[in-house]
Structure 1
Amino acid sequence: MTMKLRLALTAGALALSTAIAAAAPAASPADSDVIAKVGSAKITEAELKAAQNDIGQQFQNLSDDQQRLAVLSALIDIKALAEEAEKANMQKDPQVAAQLAFERDRTLHNAYFAKKGVDTISDKDLKDLYDKEVKTIPPQQEIHARHILVKTKEEAQKIIDQLNKGADFETLAKKESTGPSGPKGGDLGWVEKGQLVPAFEKAAFALKPGEYTKEPVQTQFGWHVIKVEGERQAPPPSFDQVKDQLRQLAMRQKYMQLVQDARKNFKVEYVDPKVKKQVDDLEKSVAAGANGAAAGDAQSAAPATPAK
């Protein structure tokens, strides 16, 4: 199976494993302590912690001590019925056995990723990833805009007439604007494309620094007179602003690398013919899409042939 296809198909597994890995408590010497017994089964501190991570939110309105006892009580119920199920040999039922096998594999999967993946990502790794990703961000134009918002076109036109005679935009905004930025002289700060309503944005980004709109601009909020104070390329987000997103990206990359390395050690064989055909067809579709994109890139990069 191709790397791109596995990346798409394993997104759900990663989300599950990162959530569990993040919640997993650190081991302590007391984890082996036996808290209670249910028949022949023992409940250890480690098992109680695992249950708290899984079902503890059901009792989040309780105090810590009460929540711990509530989870322990629920765990005793689970153990009691599990013991009855063992007596009835329900573990031999194919569906039950399959579920037990899946839960075991998922637990090992999550534990491995937590130790070999999540725990290995350092702040330096995130900073290096930040420096790499920042270079790929295309420059975005920003403008420093002000506006005066009024109810009617006639009011907006009167304001433009005053500006044409030399009136100060900021002073007029404080006096006439009905918008929340009015007391600040109509100041909207630095804004990028996509942050403003379309009609406002089109008019604002058509202005040069120091210019104001010569015609009133209508939006669903009313009528605007807009002024641009300055323009610049938007600075990239700071490391602290995107640190959490970078961690998610780093975990995804780490997960895919671990999976790729692990798959090299095991041969994957699709025994069911129908499943094998579905996988083959899906891989061909992904490959065709990738080849088509590559061909398009090559064609767009090729020099144009002069007309004869």
Structure 2
Amino acid sequence: MQKPLTYLASVALAVSLALPVAAQDEPSLDTVVATVNGTDITLGHMIIARTTLPEQYQQLPDEVLFTGILDQLVQQSALADTFEGDLPNRVKLSLENETRSLTAGEVIETVMAEPLEEDAILAAYNEQYTDAEMGEEYNASHILVETEQEAQSIKEALDDGADFAELAREKSTGPSGPGGGSLGWFGKGMMVPTFEAAVVDMKAGAVSDPVETQFGWHVIKLNETRTSEAPALEDVREELELQLRQTLVQSRIEEITSAAEVDRSASEGLDPALLKNIEWLE
């Protein structure tokens, strides 16, 4: 009795191996991943759900996200099927606002995707960089101490030939002290006003008298100055294109809104405080 069963099983296995594997469609947005009470949940539903997650959740492993999102959509579908009666006003209005916002967003995306003329990019570059006056940049070092007396003593030591970097490492209370007081290169507006004013008035190689700021007393050495150079077009192309597209979008918004038939008269005379009537949504 045992042999026939074994034989039949072997034949069935051989036949199954000989059959062609059924072709499966490539996954797409319409690929159904679950069905709840006859309603399909697709891969597209899962993808859009993932995009709305906070960034920290989007970093979770794919298998964790897949299971979690599918569970959530299944639960939501099951719960939604049990709802009876009319949807609350807050839900209806939210859906209308969301549809309006997403549809308007598609128009903006279309405008953002429009090709830009190279002449427009070049003109924007010239306006911001080539034709603009490039500012001065400064390379300075400083020694920061708590009192004017300490700062004056340091200045006198420097006038007598002491090494600035060594004194900074020994005396400065600022974070640049261990590095010999070096602040590197900086432009206007990057330092507190009093400090910046002292640097601007100095010549390269000079050491300042004590300068007071909210951080304490500084003795400053201006190492060198330079005029900032315009970046290469390709280095700022992406930034310029974004600026041009944003300007184009704003212009298109104003153009479309101006052409629309808009009647705001019904809003005149209404108390702005009416927006606080949250209870109306219930």
**TM-score with structure 2 setting the length:** 0.67
SS at match of 1:80: helix
1:272 to 249, 266, 273: 266
Give the structure 2 partner of residue 74 of structure 1: 72
SS at match of 1:109: helix
Q: Tell me, yes or no, if structure 1 residue 192 matches structure 2 residue 192.
A: no
Structure 1 residues 182 and 54: alpha-carbon distance in aligned structure 2, compared to 1, 3 A threshold = closer
- CA displacement at 1:130 relative to structure 2: 4.6
- CA displacement at 1:148 relative to structure 2: 2.4
Tell me how many residue pairs correspond in the alignment.
246
Structure 1 residues 127 and 186: alpha-carbon distance in aligned structure 2, compared to 1, 3 A threshold = farther
Give the structure 1 partner of residue 256 of structure 2: 262
Counterpart amino acid of 1:274?
Answer: E
- CA displacement at 1:206 relative to structure 2: 2.3
2:157 to 162, 179, 183: 162
Tell me the distance in 1 between the aligned counterparts of 2:117 and 2:161: 54
Tell me the distance in 2 between the aligned counterparts of 1:140 and 1:45: 54
Tell me the distance in 1 between the aligned counterparts of 2:243 and 2:265: 34
Tell me the distance in 1 between the aligned counterparts of 2:178 and 2:94: 64
SS at match of 1:149: strand
Q: Tell me, yes or no, if structure 1 residue 113 matches structure 2 residue 108.
A: yes
1:50 to 48, 51, 56: 48
SS at match of 2:268: helix
Structure 1 residues 96 and 219: alpha-carbon distance in aligned structure 2, compared to 1, 3 A threshold = closer
Q: Tell me, yes or no, if structure 1 residue 249 matches structure 2 residue 243.
A: yes
Question: Is contact 1:56-1:67 (8 Å) kept?
Answer: no
Question: Is contact 1:59-1:70 (8 Å) kept?
Answer: no
SS at match of 1:208: coil
Tell me the distance in 1 between the aligned counterparts of 2:233 and 2:168: 36
Tell me the distance in 2 between the aligned counterparts of 1:110 and 1:97: 20
Give the structure 2 partner of residue 142 of structure 1: 137
Structure 1 residues 257 and 68: alpha-carbon distance in aligned structure 2, compared to 1, 3 A threshold = farther
Tell me the distance in 1 between the aligned counterparts of 2:141 and 2:252: 51
Question: Is contact 2:130-2:230 (8 Å) kept?
Answer: no
Tell me the distance in 2 between the aligned counterparts of 1:68 and 1:53: 12
- CA displacement at 1:220 relative to structure 2: 4.2
Q: In terms of Rg, which structure is larger?
A: 2
- CA displacement at 1:144 relative to structure 2: 2.0
Structure 2 stretches lacking a partner, 5+ long: 1-25, 273-282
- CA displacement at 1:245 relative to structure 2: 5.8
- CA displacement at 1:78 relative to structure 2: 2.4
Structure 1 residues 150 and 30: alpha-carbon distance in aligned structure 2, compared to 1, 3 A threshold = same
Counterpart amino acid of 2:180?
Answer: G
Give the structure 2 partner of residue 231 of structure 1: 225
1:181 to 165, 176, 179: 176
SS at match of 1:143: strand
More helix by share: 1
Counterpart amino acid of 1:262?
Answer: I
SS at match of 2:137: strand
Tell me the distance in 1 between the aligned counterparts of 2:237 and 2:153: 48
**Aligned-pair RMSD on alpha carbons?**
3.9
Structure 1 stretches lacking a partner, 5+ long: 1-27, 279-308
Give the structure 2 partner of residue 41 of structure 1: 39
Question: Is contact 2:30-2:43 (8 Å) kept?
Answer: yes
Counterpart amino acid of 1:267?
Answer: E
Question: Is contact 2:194-2:213 (8 Å) kept?
Answer: yes
Counterpart amino acid of 2:34?
Answer: A
